[in-house]
């Protein structure tokens, strides 16, 4: 496809001015060009810009706003541009400022004057708004798929270790025994809530601003419902001012990303702790660890540490965009050009974090013997003694708590754990205690007794695994 010789009066003159119209006679200062140009960032919106332009062009044809011949020429030109981009041959140029003007300028080169009709009844304001919504919506969809993959990896590992006993902690101190499967299922729940937040955000953002034009709508007989449907939106936005000025859809997505990153960071921290020789609960293979340049014995959990660190970048993106938007009057301001860099960066970091965590979960090998040995440390079955006093001897819980505390103190003095405390010592604290109490003082018995809904008992863990498998199916 070659450009005809009869260029329209407002065709690009390589100075980056003519697409703005006749108001400007001089090209921008070099500094103005440097601060204003965004093509290095918003070229990521190329696919979305082409999709929005196709939907707009087809609607203009259907509504009789532009002729079918010009409309088809525009659509063929957009196809040609898409082909150039796929082949890596599209000439991205800084002098055309952003992705919209780059595509429009190239369309003009390919098809001539007909290209000028594409921008009828739209503005770069609604154009970038629809492009950015499409991008963020796709990012949410991709994140949802990644979250489901991570949950599947966690479910598989949890199912394989539903009865592998390990210490449960509060304040990172031994609290009560749980199972490795139960611990992993806690993250399945967290990432499930993350998925629901992205789903909710997607529902709210799924309205099309295309057709709001600069800020006030269009005098042309456009069909905004048609373009919304063509782009997969549920409906068009209902207020033209809000359409071009809203970025809360991105803020909400970044909020969901930040919470998700918090969960990733918490799990990453546990992987770092569990993989230390002091804990030794899990081992990561060479695929997710690195060595040291000076200490040959080291196996560093760098993947987990980097997942933990990327949380800061995602939090920073949310803060950055919040501060960009906080003082802007309606409708569009150029400040909003700064909406995309933090959003792109945040979802890139989240993408890597989710992928790395999914890989680590599948890769890690738990040392079940080490975890089981640690499960009884720190008098972790003390609550089981108190519960036994309540169930068997009808002792009020606060009194049972006091007796158990005294038993722990006596066991510490004798240098034994609770199962090793002689019956005579227990009976000195509460004469009604029998040797039947020892049946509840092992970590295995403690875990098996936690059979309330959502508890750590292996049967409960397997029930939750089944529930999640059904939900994800």
Compute the distance between CA of residue 182 and CA of residue 254 in angstroms, rounded to an integer.
29
Residue 15 is given by DSSP the state S
- Per residue of the chain (473 residues), what is the pLDDT tens digit? 444 434 443 444 443 445 555 666 666 677 766 777 788 888 999 999 999 999 999 999 999 999 999 999 999 999 999 999 999 999 999 889 899 999 999 999 999 999 999 999 999 999 999 999 999 999 999 999 999 999 999 999 999 999 999 999 999 999 899 999 999 999 999 999 999 999 999 999 999 999 999 999 999 999 999 999 999 999 999 999 999 999 999 999 999 999 999 999 999 999 999 999 999 999 999 998 887 778 877 788 899 999 999 999 999 999 999 999 999 999 999 999 999 999 999 999 999 999 999 999 999 999 999 999 999 888 888 998 999 999 999 999 999 999 999 999 999 999 999 999 999 999 999 999 999 999 999 999 999 999 999 999 999 999 999 999 999 99
> Which two tokens mark 418?
């609770």
Compute the distance between CA of residue 262 and CA of residue 265 in angstroms, rounded to an integer.
5
CB 350 within 8 A of CB 261: yes
Angle at 105 between CA 102 and CA 110, to 5 degrees: 120
Residue 247 has a pLDDT of: 97
Residue 2 has a pLDDT of: 41
Compute the distance between CA of residue 262 and CA of residue 243 in angstroms, rounded to an integer.
31
Q: Which of 171, 293, 424, 452 is catalytic?
A: 171
Instruction: Cis check for the bond before 302: say yes or no (omega within 30 of 0).
Output: no
CB atoms within 10 A of CB 62: 13
Whether 171 is catalytic is yes
Compute the distance between CA of residue 339 and CA of residue 328 in angstroms, rounded to an integer.
13
Residue 31 has a pLDDT of: 74
Q: How far is CA 401 from CA 50, 290, 387, in A?
A: 68, 47, 9
Whether 225 is catalytic is no
Q: Quick: pLDDT tens for 435-455.
A: 999 999 999 999 999 999 999
Residue 284 has a pLDDT of: 94
- State the DSSP H helix or E strand holding residue 267, giving kind and residue range, or none if neither: helix 248-274
The full length of the chain comes to 473
Residue 238 is given by DSSP the state S
CB 176 within 8 A of CB 387: no
Q: Which of 196, 292, 333, 451 is catalytic?
A: 292
Q: How far is CA 193 from CA 245, 268, 318, in A?
A: 29, 18, 19
Q: How far is CA 111 from CA 105, 151, 234, 270, in A?
A: 10, 49, 33, 59
pTM over 0.85: yes
Residue 37 has a pLDDT of: 77
Residue 14 has a pLDDT of: 42
Sign of CA dihedral 250, 241, 234, 193: positive
CB 33 within 8 A of CB 90: no
CB atoms within 10 A of CB 327: 8
Residue 88 is given by DSSP the state T
Query: SS3 helix, strand, coil % of the chain, rounded to 5?
Result: 65, 5, 30
Compute the distance between CA of residue 60 and CA of residue 446 in angstroms, rounded to an integer.
70
Compute the distance between CA of residue 283 and CA of residue 98 in angstroms, rounded to an integer.
48
């Amino acid at each position: 496809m070659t450009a005809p010789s009869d260029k329209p009066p407002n065709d690009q003159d390589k100075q980056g001015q003519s697409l703005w119209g006749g108001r400007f006679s001089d090209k921008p200062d070099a500094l103005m060009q440097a601060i204003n140009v965004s093509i290095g960032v918003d070229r990521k919106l190329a696919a979305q810009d082409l999709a929005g332009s196709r939907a707009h062009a087809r609607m203009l044809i259907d509504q009789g706003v532009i002729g079918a011949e010009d409309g088809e020429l525009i659509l063929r030109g957009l196809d040609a541009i898409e082909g150039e981009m796929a082949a890596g041959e599209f000439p991205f140029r800084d002098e055309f400022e952003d992705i919209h003007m780059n595509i429009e300028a190239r369309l003009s080169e390919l098809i001539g004057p007909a290209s000028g009709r594409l921008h009828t009844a739209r503005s770069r304001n609604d154009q970038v708004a629809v492009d950015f919504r499409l991008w963020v919506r796709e990012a949410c969809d991709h994140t949802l798929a990644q979250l489901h993959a991570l949950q599947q990896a966690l479910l598989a590992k949890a199912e394989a270790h539903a009865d592998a006993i390990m210490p449960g902690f509060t304040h990172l101190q031994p609290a009560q025994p749980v199972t490795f499967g139960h611990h992993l299922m806690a993250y399945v729940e967290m990432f499930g809530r993350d998925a629901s937040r992205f789903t909710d955000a997607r529902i709210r953002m799924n309205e099309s601003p295309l057709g709001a034009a600069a800020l006030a709508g269009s005098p042309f007989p456009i069909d905004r419902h048609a373009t919304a449907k063509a782009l997969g939106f549920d409906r068009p936005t209902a207020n033209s001012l809000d359409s071009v000025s809203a970025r809360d859809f991105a803020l909400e997505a970044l909020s969901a990303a930040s919470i998700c990153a918090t969960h990733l960071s918490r799990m990453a921290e546990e992987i770092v702790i569990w993989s230390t020789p002091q804990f030794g609960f899990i081992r990561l293979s060479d695929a997710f660890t690195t060595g040291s340049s000076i200490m040959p014995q080291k196996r560093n959990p760098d993947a987990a540490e980097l997942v933990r660190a990327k949380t800061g970048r995602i939090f920073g993106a949310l803060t950055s965009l919040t501060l960009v938007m906080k003082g802007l009057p309606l409708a569009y301001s150029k400040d909003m050009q700064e909406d995309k860099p933090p959003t792109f960066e945040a979802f890139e970091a989240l993408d890597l974090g989710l992928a790395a965590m999914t890989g680590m979960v599948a890769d890690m090998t738990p040392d079940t013997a080490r975890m089981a040995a640690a499960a009884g440390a720190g008098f972790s079955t003390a609550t089981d003694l108190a519960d036994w006093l309540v169930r068997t001897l009808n002792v009020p819980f606060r009194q049972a708590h006091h007796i158990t505390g005294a038993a722990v103190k006596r066991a510490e003095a004798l240098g034994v754990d609770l199962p090793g405390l002689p019956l005579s010592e227990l009976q000195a604290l509460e004469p009604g205690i029998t040797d039947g109490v020892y049946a509840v003082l092992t970590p295995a018995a403690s875990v098996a007794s936690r059979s309330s809904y959502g508890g750590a008992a292996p049967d409960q863990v397997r029930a939750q695994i089944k529930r999640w498998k059904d939900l994800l199916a």
